[in-house]
Structure 1
Amino acid sequence: MQEGRRKGSLPLSQLSWSAAGFYLLVHALCLGVVYTGLSWHALAIFAGCFAVRMFALTVGFHRYFAHRAFKTSRWFQLLLALLGSTTLQGGVIWWAETHRRHHRHADTGRDLHSPQFQGFFYSHYLWFLDRRNRVTEHAAIPDLARYPELRWLDTWHFVPFAAMCVGLYHYWGVEGVLWGGLLPTVLIWEITHWVQSFSHAWGGYRRYACEDLSRNHWPLGVLALGEFHNNHHRFSSSARQGHVWWEFDVGWYVLRLWAALGLVWDLKTPTSLSQGTAGASERGEPFV
């Protein structure tokens, strides 16, 4: 593991105040549940919106855009980008590019969010509020930047979330916006933060002796619909991240269904990657 400068804190001059203010505002607005109250209807809205949006993040932003773990059509690629953008985790190209950078330098001084070098709080919360990390490096990710619709969505990434909230308000009012829009957003944020920090720090188990410090945490992996982090770092381009039956990988199960329906194809697996049969996409060539 390379030595690097420990950041540990974020200078105020480098803090994106607009991003930090918006982040805090979303959390504060969640207190509106005191007004709407708790009901089975509200929980159903929450569960449905969480599942769809968490799935779009883990399968769309993560496995497809960041790691090119399967192939799909251009229209379905755009659908995954639109749904993933409702999680308010930045533009699809920015998300994929910074995640690829994390894998290239995992748990070294050049990792964007390594708790070993930047400290737990920075890697958990502050790294994405750092102005130095908020610029999309289009030249570093030409396989995605070549699509004008993805470049537009990368810039206007908040539009799908806003449109979703308008729809939720139309059908279910303030209750819909809170339980379908804001609360799932915060939970998905926290799950993502914990994977980025906790899964490179403590506990869990290491199925593979990777060069980085990644580890699997079963409850976190299940909640994230199949994000078993040590498995993922060993086979980062694999569409399958649960490697034994009790590592429940909902993302993989749905991808298998989609493959049967012809929506996706050429799903990479640990076996195909180990045998060198993953195909052109493993070499960074564009899919669609």
Structure 2
Amino acid sequence: MAFLDRILDPPSYGYERNGKLYVPTHREITAEFFSRLNVARSRKNWLGLFAWVTSLSFGIPLVLFFTHHFSWWLMAVGFVYSMVVIGTHGTVWFHRYSTHGAYQFKNAFFRELCRNLVIKIVVEEAYVVSHHVHHSFAEQPGDPYNARAGWLYCFLADVNHQALNKTLDRKDYAQVCKLMKHTGVRLNSYEQYQRWGSLCHPGYTALHFALNWAFWYGVFFLIGGHALALALFGWAGVWAIGVRTYNYDGHGGGKDRRREGIDFNSRDQSINQCWPGLITGEWHNNHHLYPSGARAGFLPYQFDLAWHFIRAWAWMGAITSYRDYKQDFLNRYHQPWLARAKAQDCPETERAVPDSSAAS
């Protein structure tokens, strides 16, 4: 069994039956979800419970905003903050840096600054480790958020399929730590991992969230009082729940929705979508074509806000290097496609050879 095959904790219903993807029933998925939230059964279930408790807790400021401070202006500000600012930060920090190492920070100060630029919502461990597995087994049995298994399968994947395997030996645990060490997350020793079943410690994780939330609530309060702070924290919760649906949509809802001339990666069913692309730089098919690239928007209409953020920080000296595959994409994929399309639209006509006898 390869390393990435064994680093996640498989669900009780398994990933496959008779060599094919097993699609569990909604009842099986739901039962697995609540079983894995049960910290009374095992303290090693703490991370999944922590993720959902923190995400759902944003419902409190959201309700307070609607009941005490609602305004259409703040509604718009919260929407932009969650969809654009938090979404782009997710692409920059979790996707392109923490998982794929597409660029490098000058030092730990700029790394930590980037890590905490927005309200903290996602624990790095829950994203990074499983995302490596996703790229290795996209839409195959073992993909932790396999769109072919359905919407609920993807929506509850952070608990059901993305948790770290609780029985790794010391060597495998050390290898998993290497996937996370560049993120700055304080990692457990092997003995701590055996106690908590995770890379990160619950105490440090809770402290990080508390300090981050206190800082940003204070900043927003100083700018616009409780009204602004509640609006932005409440809308952060909308993003926290909504992002759990992204991979299902980004892989065509389990169907092949790729379009010629737009989606050039043929290894899986990821697709480029205008909404997540334009507001966060998540041109998903392009990303699967070049996972380690700092840019995913290659064509003129594919505005990539995350890429412009990375370029701006590089200009300021906070980022020292990055990988950009735009020219390679144009040379290997887009220009050959344009040539083929042109040849199909304007086929060369055969020229008749003049009859020499008729000419005479």
TM-score range, shorter chain: 0.7 to 0.9
Displacement of 1:56: 2.1
Structure 1 CA distance, aligned partners of 2:215 and 2:179? 27
AA matched with 2:115: A
Displacement of 1:33: 2.6
Cα 1:189–1:243, aligned 2, differ >3 Å: closer, same or farther?
A: farther
AA matched with 2:141: G
* 1:56 corresponds to: 89
AA matched with 1:37: F
Cα 1:240–1:227, aligned 2, differ >3 Å: closer, same or farther?
A: same
What's the % identity of the aligned pairs? 22
* 2:24 corresponds to: 7
* 1:258 corresponds to: 313
AA matched with 1:134: A
* 2:236 corresponds to: 184
- Give CA-to-partner distance per residue, 1:47-74, whole Å, 9 cap, x none: 3576443332111111111111111122
Q: Contact 2:221/2:228 (CA < 8 Å) preserved in 1?
A: yes
- Give CA-to-partner distance per residue, 1:153-190, whole Å, 9 cap, x none: 95415232343224334543331232122213423541
AA matched with 2:133: R
* 2:156 corresponds to: 126
Alignment of 1:79-158 (within 5 A): 79-83=113-117, 86-90=119-123, 92-117=124-149, 119-123=150-154, 125-130=155-160, 133-135=162-164, 139-145=175-181, 149-151=184-186, 154=200, 155-156=204-205, 157-158=208-209
* 1:26 corresponds to: 58
AA matched with 2:36: Q
Q: Contact 2:58/2:236 (CA < 8 Å) preserved in 1?
A: no
* 2:303 corresponds to: 248
AA matched with 1:3: K
Q: Contact 2:128/2:179 (CA < 8 Å) preserved in 1?
A: no
Q: Which moved more, 1:259-268 or 1:157-166?
A: 157-166
AA matched with 1:38: S
Q: What number of residue pairs does the alignment pair up?
A: 267
Question: SS in structure 2 opposite 1:71?
Answer: strand
AA matched with 2:94: F
* 1:211 corresponds to: 267
Structure 1 CA distance, aligned partners of 2:244 and 2:59? 15
Displacement of 1:263: 1.7
- Determine which of 271, 277, 281 is the counterpart of 1:221: 277
Question: SS in structure 1 opposite 2:148?
Answer: coil
Cα 1:57–1:209, aligned 2, differ >3 Å: closer, same or farther?
A: closer
- Of structures 1 and 2, the larger Rg is shown by 2
Displacement of 1:246: 0.3
Structure 2 CA distance, aligned partners of 1:67 and 1:39? 38
**Superposition RMSD in Å:** 3.2
* 1:230 corresponds to: 285
- Determine which of 219, 239, 243 is the counterpart of 1:167: 219
Displacement of 1:250: 0.9
Q: Contact 1:81/1:150 (CA < 8 Å) preserved in 2?
A: no
Q: Contact 1:215/1:230 (CA < 8 Å) preserved in 2?
A: yes
Structure 1 CA distance, aligned partners of 2:292 and 2:244? 21
Cα 1:216–1:176, aligned 2, differ >3 Å: closer, same or farther?
A: same
Q: Which moved more, 1:35-44 or 1:134-143?
A: 134-143
Q: Contact 1:42/1:176 (CA < 8 Å) preserved in 2?
A: no
Structure 2 CA distance, aligned partners of 1:122 and 1:53? 24
> Which stretches in structure 2 are left out of the alignment for 5+ residues?
1-18, 38-47, 166-172, 188-198, 330-360
Structure 1 CA distance, aligned partners of 2:152 and 2:100? 26
Structure 2 CA distance, aligned partners of 1:193 and 1:222? 19
Q: Which runs of 4+ in 1 moved over 6 A?
A: none
Structure 2 CA distance, aligned partners of 1:48 and 1:24? 18
Q: Contact 2:99/2:179 (CA < 8 Å) preserved in 1?
A: no
Structure 1 CA distance, aligned partners of 2:221 and 2:56? 22
TM-score (norm 2): 0.64
Displacement of 1:262: 1.7
Structure 2 CA distance, aligned partners of 1:251 and 1:218? 14
Q: Which moved more, 1:41-50 or 1:225-234?
A: 41-50
Question: SS in structure 2 opposite 1:265?
Answer: strand
Displacement of 1:122: 1.9
Question: SS in structure 2 opposite 1:269?
Answer: coil
Cα 1:252–1:20, aligned 2, differ >3 Å: closer, same or farther?
A: closer
TM-score (norm 1): 0.78
Question: SS in structure 2 opposite 1:58?
Answer: helix
Cα 1:133–1:144, aligned 2, differ >3 Å: closer, same or farther?
A: closer
Cα 1:20–1:228, aligned 2, differ >3 Å: closer, same or farther?
A: same
